[in-house]
């Protein structure tokens, strides 16, 4: 059992509690939330007094690429197709040990930023075991590539083998899902086949959707750099004459209630269509801006009733895992209250990932928690703790995190983790990535997909 007390408890689903406490039972679920004096103090519970801090639900990163953590800072200033090409080349140059170390360090970095749950996308089969072993929560979407219809059967066979290998990682904390990468790396035939596999296995799905102008050109008109790269490989490209969201509906993926990642070029009609199918969205404002895509219409998503969570995307684009920064960027679109900003980081992300009992502090919910220290000058004399955290906190202000009542981060320490070993592994992975020369791949980024 774990009992936490703090100057403020921010349930997010209700008003702040001054001098509050949370009790997590032996089963990892919350047994009580309220004023410190009213929350039981079982003798067998570990007592943690966080003091001058705000305790809130563990943050939910709706979209990340943890396996790419070691590539941070290596790809900058390129147009999107060239950026993708370079990132893909670097990732393919890393061996399984490097990808494993990179992914594990990403999980630990997330814990230190208050992130206890990830919606992670990657093809290296590393996220599910890393989350399982390090004590994190999330949906590990196995990413699939295959733009050539002639390769569809072989890709599906490899996909089935990967899913079988990942099955032992599944638990009440870790869910294995499927992620066809994007319209320019997955043929319509493969997308339909992936949808069939996901449906047969009952898997959650996610896909990069309506992310860029170049993708829109490909899907709607069969033109642009992605179309040119495909044709250079002898792959036939036909204009879809519709939006990417409508294209997903035709292929049968939308019926599986997928997580739609980015949605920058999607419009109100797309969001209404997605909502009718029960799809959800991951909003990644910082990477969208850095990569020059523009801003997704969060207001239209919310107006359509779409469940939306915030994502950091990969640190190759965003630089760090900081959902507080993402929330402030999101609030530059539609006007958001501080509580709505916090909800995007917690309950909204959980809803977008289809996870129950996550992203909230309530009796029966999972004991996933994060605490923001309030000792910094920016928090002095804060009258509204939700406003102080939503508008003033950064990942560096996080002092504590727990998943299902198990402490995963505590004032710079990661209990149960051999940090020196993890640091050394990550350093080797980063060095390997930095040593890779990055000439353009023949035929563009699709050459080795």
Whole-number Å distance between alpha carbons of 74 and 286 = 17
Matching residue, tokens 């992310």: 211
| Pick from 49, 129, 122: nearest CA to 316 | 122
List of domains in the chain: 2-57+360-410 (2.30.40.10), 59-356+440-446 (3.20.20.140)
pLDDT score at 449? 37
**Strand, helix or coil for residue 246:** helix
pTM: 0.95
pLDDT of residue 101: 97
Characterize the bridge pairing of strands 369-373 and 398-403. Answer: antiparallel
Q: What is the pLDDT of residues 121-153, one digit of tens each?
A: 999 999 999 999 999 999 999 999 999 999 999
Q: 166: pLDDT confidence band, cut at 50, 70 and 90?
A: very high
Q: Edge to edge, what strands does the sheet with 308-310 contain? A: 206-209, 259-262, 280-283, 308-310
- 440 Cβ neighbours under 8 A, 6+ residues apart: 82, 85
Mean pLDDT of all residues in the chain? 94
Query: Is the pLDDT at 169 greater than 70, yes or no?
Result: yes
pLDDT tens across 319-328, in order? 899 999 999 9
Two tokens, residue 117: 């749950």
pLDDT above 90: residue 439: no
- DSSP per position, 148-187: -GGGHHHHHHHHHHHHHHHGGG-SSSEEEEEEE--TTTB-
Mean pLDDT of 318-347: 95
Q: Is 446 helix (H, G, I), strand (E, B) or coil?
A: helix
Q: Residues 3-28: pLDDT tens digits?
A: 999 999 999 999 999 999 999 999 99
Q: Of all residues in the chain, what percent carry a pLDDT higher than 70?
A: 97
* pLDDT (0 to 100) of residue 219: 97
Q: How confident is the model at residue 248 (pLDDT cuts 50, 70, 90)?
A: very high
**Residue 85 backbone phi and psi in degrees, to 5:** -60, -45
The residue to which tokens 């093809």 are assigned: 123
Kind and range of the H or E run holding 35:
strand 30-35
- Judged against a pLDDT cut of 80, whether residue 220 lies above it is answered with yes
> Hey, what's the torsion of the CAs at 361, 365, 368, 371, to 10 degrees?
10
Instruction: Name every residue whose Cβ is closer than 8 Å to that of residue 164 and which is 6 or more positions away in sequence.
Output: none
Query: Residue 441: its pLDDT value, please?
Result: 44
Of 328, 263, 321, 255, the residue nearest 295 (C-alpha): 263
How confident is the model over 241-254, as a mean pLDDT?
95
Positive or negative, the CA dihedral 209, 279, 301, 354 is negative
Q: How many CB atoms lie within 10 A of CB 78?
A: 14
Query: How far, in Å, CA of 264 to CA of 283, rounded?
Result: 9
Q: What percent of the chain has pLDDT over 90?
A: 91
State the pLDDT at residue 447: 37
Structure confidence at residue 376 as a pLDDT band (50, 70, 90)? confident
CA distance 246 to 365: 35
For the chain, the farthest-separated pair of C-alpha atoms sits apart, in whole angstroms, at: 70
Nearest to 118 by CA among 189, 169, 59, 193: 59
Rounded to 5°, the CA angle 150-206-219 comes to: 55
């Amino acid at each position: 059992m774990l009992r936490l007390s703090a100057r403020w408890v921010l349930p997010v689903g209700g008003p702040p509690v001054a001098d509050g406490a949370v009790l997590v039972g032996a089963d990892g679920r919350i047994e009580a939330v309220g004023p410190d004096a009213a929350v039981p103090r079982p003798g067998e519970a570990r007592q943690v007094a966080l003091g001058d801090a705000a305790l809130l639900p563990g943050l939910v990163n709706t979209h990340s690429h943890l396996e790419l953590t070691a590539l941070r800072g290596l790809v900058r200033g390129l147009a999107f197709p060239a950026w993708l090409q370079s990132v893909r080349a670097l990732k393919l140059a890393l061996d399984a040990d490097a990808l494993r170390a990179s992914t594990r360090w990403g999980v630990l970095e997330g814990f230190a930023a208050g992130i206890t749950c990830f919606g992670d996308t990657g093809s290296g089969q590393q996220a599910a075991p890393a989350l399982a072993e390090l004590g994190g929560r999330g949906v590990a979407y196995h990413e699939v590539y295959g733009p050539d219809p002639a390769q569809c059967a072989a890709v599906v066979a490899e996909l089935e083998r990967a899913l079988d290998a990942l099955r032992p990682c599944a638990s009440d904390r870790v869910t294995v899902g499927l992620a066809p990468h994007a319209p320019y790396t997955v043929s319509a035939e493969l997308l339909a086949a992936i949808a069939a596999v996901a449906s047969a296995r009952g898997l959650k799905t996610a896909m990069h959707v309506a992310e860029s102008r170049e993708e829109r050109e490909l899907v709607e008109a069969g033109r642009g750099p992605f179309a040119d790269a495909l044709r250079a490989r002898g792959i036939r490209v036909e204009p879809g004459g519709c939006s990417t969201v409508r294209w997903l509906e035709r292929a049968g993926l939308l019926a599986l209630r997928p997580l739609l990642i980015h949605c920058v070029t999607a419009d109100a009609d797309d969001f209404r269509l997605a909502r009718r199918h029960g799809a959800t969205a991951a909003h990644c404002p910082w990477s969208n801006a850095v990569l020059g895509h523009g801003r997704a219409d969060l207001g239209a998503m919310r107006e359509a009733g779409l469940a939306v969570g915030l994502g950091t995307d990969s640190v190759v684009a965003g630089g760090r895992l900081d959902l507080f920064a993402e929330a402030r960027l999101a609030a530059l679109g539609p006007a958001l209250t501080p509580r709505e900003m916090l909800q995007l980081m917690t309950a909204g992300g959980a809803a977008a990932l289809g996870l129950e009992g996550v992203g909230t502090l309530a009796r029966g919910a999972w004991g996933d928690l994060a605490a923001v220290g309030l000792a910094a000058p920016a928090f002095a004399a804060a009258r509204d703790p939700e406003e102080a955290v939503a508008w003033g906190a950064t990942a560096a202000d996080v002092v504590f995190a727990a998943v299902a009542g198990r402490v995963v981060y505590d004032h710079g320490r990661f209990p149960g983790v051999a940090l020196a070993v993890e640091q050394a592994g990550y350093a080797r992975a980063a060095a390997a990535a930095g040593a890779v020369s990055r000439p353009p791949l023949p035929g563009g980024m699709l050459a080795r997909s």
